[in-house]
Amino acid sequence: MRKFLKFVLPLGLIALSIVVVLVMVAIAQGKRPDRKDEGNQAVLVEAIQAEVSSLNFSVTSQGAVRPRTETTLVAEVSGQIVTVSPNFVPGGFFRKGEVLLQIDPSDYDTALLRAQANLASRQAQLSDWKARSEQALKDWQNLGRSGEPSDLVLRKPQLAEAQAAVQAAQAELQQAERNLQRTRIRLPYEGLVRNKLVDVGQFVSPGTPLGVTFAVDRAEIRLPLSSSDLQFLELPSATRLDADKRVPVVLTSQNGGENGRWMGEIVRTEGVVDQASRVVYAVTEVVDPYRVLGQSLQDELKMGTFVRAEIEGRRVEDVVVLPRSVLLPDDTVLVANEDRKLEIRPVTVARAEPRQVYVSEGVESGEWVVTTSLDAPIPGTQLAIRGEKPPATDDDGGAPESEESTP
């Protein structure tokens, strides 16, 4: 019995294992799911519809506001400062012709009186020699002498010397008057004081700096422009005065959380290329930046403010504005055609900016441009645009309409 079990039992276990394996294979084959046909599955993408428009390009730049006219005041005569205007302080506003400083005029008043007296004396001497010359001519005629009298007889050398002395005295008088005027420091424009360098009681001599002022009628901003920026702008010539060719500029600045906005115009270009930065500077002008002359309704624009400028450029017709991210490195874009199949479309780029691109050819109005990034785009791939309703299909198509089953 033991020998029987020793030979039969292993054979039985082997046979049982074979049967179990066959049953499991049969069950697995019976429950294998049907493979879906994924050949026509559409790729879901996001897209925007192209719109053709006409617009003006804009170029951005930045710079600091500075005065168009700035003056360093220097003493032209020597003396002690005896009067200082209350407006001659840093930030003080003054009117045209207002006396800001007064240098002691006593010595110059005396010099003026001396020059006036000297002129009167020289004029009297000239009158005396004129009378002598006329009397010499009468004596010559009364003596019955023939011919013309000589210059010495008519006292012409003495008369010429007297005339020269009068002219010299007149020049001295004019110099004395100018020196007296120079004791009063005034400017030919309305402005603000930037720096004050002297005060009452200080002695100054010719060439001593007194302060720095600037006019408030105009402010200027130097805007650097690269060669790529210039091709989109129509700027006034640096060598011709184009009074009517002024380019509008919008200036903005953020200071202390508050945004400022001003309108200006480019009035000229400096006409040279900076050797270090390789840029050309265009000068923008703002009228009445401090609103003290009644020529502007804009907010106050302080000197030294750093502003961002948006310059109106050339006008372009029939372009499509797209996000910069849709343009591929080979100047192509992905387009979903009418059948919602992928096309890789070459385009002509009129201008590319960091955030958007202007396409002049290659995309028509109403076409869908894919904005989703595809790792390996294949032309002809079926697409589904997010947010767009799928087209209705009949029984002959792919997806049949659902119907309620009746019991």
pLDDT of 256: 63
- Number of neighbouring beta carbons within 10 Å of residue 197: 13
Alpha carbon separation from 136 to 127, 133, 147, 149, 160 (Å, rounded): 14, 5, 14, 9, 16
What DSSP string runs through 102-133? EE--HHHHHHHHHHHHHHHHHHHHHHHHHHHH
CA nearest to 347, candidates 319, 366, 306 = 319
Residue in this structure with the two tokens 């009746």, named with its chain if needed: 406
Angle at 77 between CA 73 and CA 82, to 5 degrees: 80
Domain spanning 105-182, CATH architecture:
Up-down Bundle (1.20)
Phi, psi of 133, deg, nearest 5 = -65, -40
Per-residue model confidence (pLDDT) at position 137:
82
In the chain, where are the structural domains located? 47-53+317-385, 105-182, 216-316
- CA angle, 354 as apex, 349 and 357 as ends, to 5°? 25
Tell me the CATH number for domain 216-316: 2.40.30
Q: Is 69 exposed, middle or buried (0-12, 13-18, 19+ CB in 10 A)?
A: middle
Positions in the chain whose pLDDT score sits under 70: 1-9, 11-12, 25, 28-40, 239-244, 256-258, 390-407
The Cα–Cα gap between 262 and 283 comes to: 15
Check residue 398 and give its pLDDT: 45
Under 8 Å between Cβ of 350 and 56 = no
Give me 314's structure tokens.
């050339």
Q: CB neighbours of 93 closer than 8 A, spacing ≥ 6?
A: 87, 190, 191, 192, 216, 290, 292
Chain-centre distance of CA 127, in angstroms?
67
* Residue 12: HSE in the Cβ half-sphere, 13 Å Cα cutoff: 6
Quote the tokens at residue 325.
């991210």
What is the tens place of the pLDDT at every residue in 61-97?
Answer: 999 999 999 999 999 999 999 999 999 999 999 999 9
Separation of alpha carbons 195 and 212, rounded Å:
5
Give the pLDDT score at 158: 87
Evaluate whether the domain defined by 47-53+317-385 bears CATH number 2.40.420.20: yes
Interval 370-406: pLDDT, tens: 999 888 888 998 888 888 776 655 444 444 443 333 3
Residues 200, 83 contacting (CB under 8 angstroms): yes
